[in-house]
């Protein structure tokens, strides 16, 4: 998502076996997405799944907070 927002993304990783890493310049990545519709769809699907999961987790956290507030400060049914 950092790519779409124009943000810089960094990461620290530890490989369990030898690996090769490829860093693509933004323009090359954009050109790749422009010519490969399947790759573009896969990227959109992956980002959509991440957004959906984040939304679900936020809703769960909000529901937990509401229960805690209700238990501590709310009035129960009479």
Per-10-residue mean pLDDT, the chain, length 78:
81 92 89 96 95 94 81 61
Q: What is the per-residue burial (b if ≥16 Cβ within 10 Å, else e) of 4-14? A: eeeeeeeeeee
H helices of 1-78, in order, are: 2-5, 26-35, 37-73
Residue among 47, 63, 67, 45 nearest 5 (CA): 47
pLDDT at 59: 93
pLDDT at 16: 96
Cβ atoms of 29 and 3 within 8 Å: the answer is yes
pLDDT at 75: 61
CA distances from 8 to 5, 12, 26, 30 (A): 9, 14, 11, 16
pLDDT at 53: 96
* pTM for this entry: 0.63
């Amino acid at each position: 998502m950092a790519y779409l927002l124009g943000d810089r993304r960094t990461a620290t990783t530890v490989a369990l076996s030898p690996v090769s890493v490829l860093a693509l310049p933004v323009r090359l990545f954009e050109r790749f997405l422009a010519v490969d519709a399947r790759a573009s769809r896969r990227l959109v699907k992956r980002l959509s799944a991440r957004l959906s999961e984040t939304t679900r987790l936020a809703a769960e956290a909000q529901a937990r907070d509401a229960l805690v507030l209700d238990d501590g400060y709310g009035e129960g049914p009479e």
